[in-house]
Structure 1
Amino acid sequence: MSNTTTANFQTIPTLDYSLTAHPESKAQFISQLRSVIINVGFLYLSNTPVDKALISTLKDDYIPRLFALPQEDKDRIRMVNSPHFLGYSRMGMELTKGEVDWREQFDFGTGCEEEKPLKDGEPEYWNVYGPSQYPTETQLPGFKALFETYLVQVSALAADFLRLVSEAVGLPPDTLDQFYKTENRTMHLSKIVKYPVQGQSKQGVGAHYDGSMLTFLLQASEEHRGLQAQNLRGEWIDVPPKPDTFVVNFGRSLEFVTQGVVRATSHRVLAPPLDSKTPRYSVPFFYSGMDLEVRVDSNALKMPSEILKLRDERGVLPETESINYPEYAHDVAGKVYLLGRAKSHPDVAERHYPDVFKELFPNGMPLHGVAY
Structure 2
Amino acid sequence: MNKIPSVNLKEFLSEDPQKKQQFINAIGKAYEDIGFVALRGHFLDNELVDNLYKEVKNFFDLPVEKKQNYEIPGIGGQRGYVSFGKESAKGKKEGDLKEFWHFGQYVENNPELEAEYPKNVVVEELPDFNDIGKQAYKMLEKTAKYVLRALALHLDLEETYFDEYIYNGNSILRPIHYPPIKKEPKNAVRAAAHGDINLITLLMGAQGRGLQVQNHKGEWIDAIAQPDELMINVGDMLSRHTNNKLKSTIHRVVNPPRELWGTSRYSIPFFMHPVSSMKLDVLDSCIDENHPKQFEDITAGEFLNERLIELGLIKK
TM-score under structure 1 normalisation?
0.75
Deviation at 1:260, TM superposition (A): 1.7
Deviation at 1:340, TM superposition (A): 2.7
Q: Is the CA contact 2:243–2:287 (under 8 Å) kept in the aligned structure 1?
A: no
Match of 1:54? 48
Q: Is the CA contact 2:27–2:151 (under 8 Å) kept in the aligned structure 1?
A: yes
Select which of 260, 267, 276 maps to 1:282.
267
Select which of 133, 137, 143 maps to 1:157.
143
Q: Is the CA contact 2:38–2:225 (under 8 Å) kept in the aligned structure 1?
A: no
Q: For residues 237 and 336 of structure 1, do their structure 2 counterparts lie closer, same or farther at Cα, with a shift above 3 Å needed?
A: same
Q: For residues 101 and 236 of structure 1, do their structure 2 counterparts lie closer, same or farther at Cα, with a shift above 3 Å needed?
A: same
Match of 1:269? 253
* CA-to-aligned-CA distance 1:294-335 (integer Å, 9 cap, x gap): 32111x342497xx98xx7xxx9xx9xxxxxx7xx3543223
Select which of 94, 102, 111 maps to 1:107.
102
Q: Does 1:134 align with 2:118?
A: no
Select which of 147, 168, 175 maps to 2:133.
147
Q: Does 1:254 align with 2:238?
A: yes
Q: Does 1:70 align with 2:58?
A: no
Q: For residues 66 and 126 of structure 1, do their structure 2 counterparts lie closer, same or farther at Cα, with a shift above 3 Å needed?
A: closer
Q: Is the CA contact 1:40–1:231 (under 8 Å) kept in the aligned structure 2?
A: yes
Deviation at 1:259, TM superposition (A): 1.9
Q: Is the CA contact 1:207–1:267 (under 8 Å) kept in the aligned structure 2?
A: yes
Select which of 331, 334, 341 maps to 2:308.
341
| CA RMSD of superposed structures (Å) | 2.9
> In structure 1, the residue corresponding to 2:190 is in which secondary structure?
strand
* CA-to-aligned-CA distance 1:128-152 (integer Å, 9 cap, x gap): 502111311xx22311111101101
Q: Is the CA contact 1:292–1:335 (under 8 Å) kept in the aligned structure 2?
A: yes
Matched to 2:175, the amino acid is I
Q: Is the CA contact 1:126–1:292 (under 8 Å) kept in the aligned structure 2?
A: no
Deviation at 1:278, TM superposition (A): 2.1
Q: Is the CA contact 2:170–2:276 (under 8 Å) kept in the aligned structure 1?
A: no
* CA-to-aligned-CA distance 1:63-110 (integer Å, 9 cap, x gap): 211110111210100032647721211111122232321111112212
Q: Is the CA contact 2:277–2:300 (under 8 Å) kept in the aligned structure 1?
A: yes
- How many angstroms apart in 2 are the aligned matches of 1:269 and 1:164? 28
- How many angstroms apart in 1 are the aligned matches of 2:275 and 2:232? 22
Q: For residues 270 and 134 of structure 1, do their structure 2 counterparts lie closer, same or farther at Cα, with a shift above 3 Å needed?
A: farther
> In structure 2, the residue corresponding to 1:56 is in which secondary structure?
helix
TM-score under structure 2 normalisation?
0.87
> In structure 1, the residue corresponding to 2:37 is in which secondary structure?
strand
Q: Does 1:237 align with 2:221?
A: yes
Q: Is the CA contact 2:80–2:103 (under 8 Å) kept in the aligned structure 1?
A: yes
Q: Does 1:332 align with 2:299?
A: yes
Match of 2:10? 18
Matched to 1:75, the amino acid is Q
Structure 2: which 5+ runs fail to align? none
- How many angstroms apart in 2 are the aligned matches of 1:207 and 1:128? 30
* CA-to-aligned-CA distance 1:273-300 (integer Å, 9 cap, x gap): 3322421100010101x222232111x3
Decide which structure has the larger Cα Rg and report it.
1
Deviation at 1:35, TM superposition (A): 1.1
Count of paired positions: 307
- How many angstroms apart in 2 are the aligned matches of 1:63 and 1:145? 12
> In structure 2, the residue corresponding to 1:262 is in which secondary structure?
coil
Match of 2:38? 44
Q: Is the CA contact 1:166–1:176 (under 8 Å) kept in the aligned structure 2?
A: yes
The percent identity for this pair of structures is 25
Deviation at 1:17, TM superposition (A): 1.2
* CA-to-aligned-CA distance 1:176-231 (integer Å, 9 cap, x gap): 34544x64xx42112111112213156111111111111000016x4x41100001
Matched to 2:197, the amino acid is G
Q: Is the CA contact 2:103–2:134 (under 8 Å) kept in the aligned structure 1?
A: no
Structure 1: which 5+ runs fail to align? 1-8, 119-124, 320-325, 350-356, 361-372
Q: Is the CA contact 2:197–2:304 (under 8 Å) kept in the aligned structure 1?
A: no
Q: For residues 30 and 87 of structure 1, do their structure 2 counterparts lie closer, same or farther at Cα, with a shift above 3 Å needed?
A: same
